Amino acid sequence: MRFQKPKGTQDLLPGKVEIWQFLEAKAHELCRRFNYREIRTPIFEMTELFLRSVGETTDIVEKEMYTFRDKADRSMTLRPEGTAGAVRAYVENKLFASVDPVKLYYIGPMFRYERPQAGRYRQFHQFGVEAIGSDDPALDAEVIAMGYRFYREVGLNDVRVEINSIGNAASRASYRKRLEDFLAPKLPSLCPDCQKRFLRNPLRVLDCKKDVELLQDVPSILDSLDEPSRRRFDEVRAYLDELAVPYAVNCRLVRGLDYYTHTAFEYKAGGIGAAADAVGGGGRYDGLVAEIGGEDRPAVGFGIGLERVVALLETRNVDVPVDRFPDVYLIAVGEQASRKLVSLLDAARAAGLSADRDYMGRSLKAQLKAADRSGAKIAAVLGEDELDRRQIQLKILATGEQYAVSLDRWIDEIKNRLSRLEHPEEGR
């Protein structure tokens, strides 16, 4: 039987996984500067957590969750998003006892059973942040700016920000009536999914990608905001202006999860696929902590799909600065030299160098070819004569320059040469 990876998943192989390492390193460094601390939660949780937080009328819960019964007949679900688990951990571990706001971030796999397409997988990865404990509009702006900066710092300068306010509960109730009045005459023409959404949660209709033309003249939720909600949205926009984050107001943006309140936002970019222009997003979710059993705490966060970031980097031919090659490739000629090479290789690695050697018993010529194919900058050749003289031959593979150095200082010499190769202007 020939095994293949499950549909909607991918193997991240050497040569590509370095791009992921680059993105993850950027995310870790960005969070350090913004004072967010990493959290790692289980890949599966009790199904009820997602039913209560994400919302039973969302596409995620109705169609896309990977749910199973464990051996104790409990319903468990592979996490479809990161916020619910992070908030559950915040409540369970009493993180609210520390100074507010608690700033958390995570990087990891999520799972949704949906039709695979460009930029969309059944196992995908998110970089997300959650700031819990403050309702300050400046925190909304900080979170939005943080995601915007992430895209800029990985080399994506055309990602744009769209924002909206879905207001408080009173504002949404007022808007729901206006929206129902607008949709009712169009109900027979709406897609089957939207006909169900109309009865259970009409705001979900605004997420539809099929009924775009029918929704062109939909009322703006901004016209239904009460004064506190309107004032709050104005403050968020003022802070974004202060942070020089360009944005557009999209009055139809509601996001696909039920826990959002007030601020909602998305990061968008073209070039991945017609249905995949959103490459990340988030918003404020002031009622979620209380909904899953904690004391009422306001919160805001975002999630960024890393698969879509990788796709953007590739479509835009962004040169990702990753180092995939060894610094030095060690070559032995003769039995005694081969034995000695073991300790030399270990010493090079202990000194912080990326180093490799031949393990196939190849000839000197074949080993030099293997060194060149490895991408190493320097080959270090040890023969029986060099061993007797306590020397090793260094060969700069790009130029062919070769010379002998003492085994007492060969590592220092390699470090010096690597520095000069990387910064040739400093050696002038």
- Which structure tokens are listed for 178? 């206006």
Q: In this model, does residue 231 exceed pLDDT 90?
A: yes
Considering the domain architecture, whether residues 307 and 406 belong to the same structural domain is answered as no
Average pLDDT for the chain: 90
Residue 41 pLDDT:
97
| 81 shares its domain with 130 | yes
Percent of residues, the chain, with pLDDT higher than 70: 95
Confidence of residue 48 (pLDDT cuts 50, 70, 90): very high
- C-alpha span between 417 and 394 (Å, rounded): 10
234, 378: one domain = no
Residues 239, 154 share a domain? yes
Is residue 333 located within the same domain as residue 360? Answer: yes
Cα 56 to chain center, whole Å?
26
Q: List the domain range (segments joined by +) for residue 334.
A: 328-421
- More confident position, 272 or 52: 52
Stretch among 133-142, 270-279, 320-329, 343-352 having the lowest mean pLDDT: 270-279
Residue 371 maps to which CATH number? 3.40.50.800
* Residue 20: other Cβ atoms inside 10 A: 18
For the segment 356-366, the average pLDDT, to the nearest whole number, is 94
Taking the CB of residue 255, how many other CB atoms lie within 10 A of it? 21
> Which pLDDT score is estimated for 163?
97
Q: Is residue 113 part of a domain?
A: yes
Out of 315, 350, 381, a domain closes at 315
Say yes or no: 336 and 363 in one domain: yes
* Residue 265 near residue 281, CB atoms below 8 Å: yes
For position 140, what pLDDT does the model report? 98
Specify whether the CB–CB gap between 133 and 297 falls below 8 A. yes
* CB 219, CB 182: distance < 8 Å: yes
Q: Do 296 and 390 fall into the same domain?
A: no
| Most distant pair of Cα atoms in the chain: their distance | 93
User: If you average pLDDT over residues 278-296, what whole number do you get?
Assistant: 91
Instruction: Tell me the whole-structure pTM to 2 decimals.
Output: 0.88
Residue range 310-324, pLDDT digits in tens: 999 999 999 888 777
The whole-angstrom separation of Cα 219 and Cα 181 is 10
Q: The domain that contains 96 carries what CATH number?
A: 3.30.930.10
Cα(first)–Cα(last) distance of the chain, in Å?
A: 61
Query: What is residue 67's predicted lDDT score, i.e. its pLDDT?
Result: 94
How far is the C-alpha of 184 from the C-alpha of 190, rounded, in Å? Answer: 10
**Per-residue pLDDT at 200:** 78
Are residues 264 and 131 both part of a single domain?
Answer: yes
213 within domain boundaries: no
Residue 57's pLDDT band (cuts 50, 70, 90): low
Q: How many domains does the chain have?
A: 2
pLDDT band at 257 (very low <50, low <70, confident <90, very high): low
Say what angle helices 17-34 and 306-315 make with each other, to 10 degrees. 120
| Residue 274 scores a pLDDT above 50 | no
Residue 64 has pLDDT above 90, yes or no: no
pLDDT of 426 above 90: no
Q: Which two tokens stand for residue 241?
A: 């202006």
Q: Are residues 307 and 350 in the same domain?
A: no
Is there a cis peptide before residue 101, judged by omega within 30 degrees of 0? yes
For 344-373, letters b (16+ CB in 10 Å) and e give: bbeebeeeebebbbbeeeeeeeebbebbee
pLDDT at 46: 95
Is the residue at 428 inside a domain? Answer: no
Domain identity same for 160 and 286? yes
Which helix (H) or strand (E) segment holds residue 392: the answer is strand 391-396
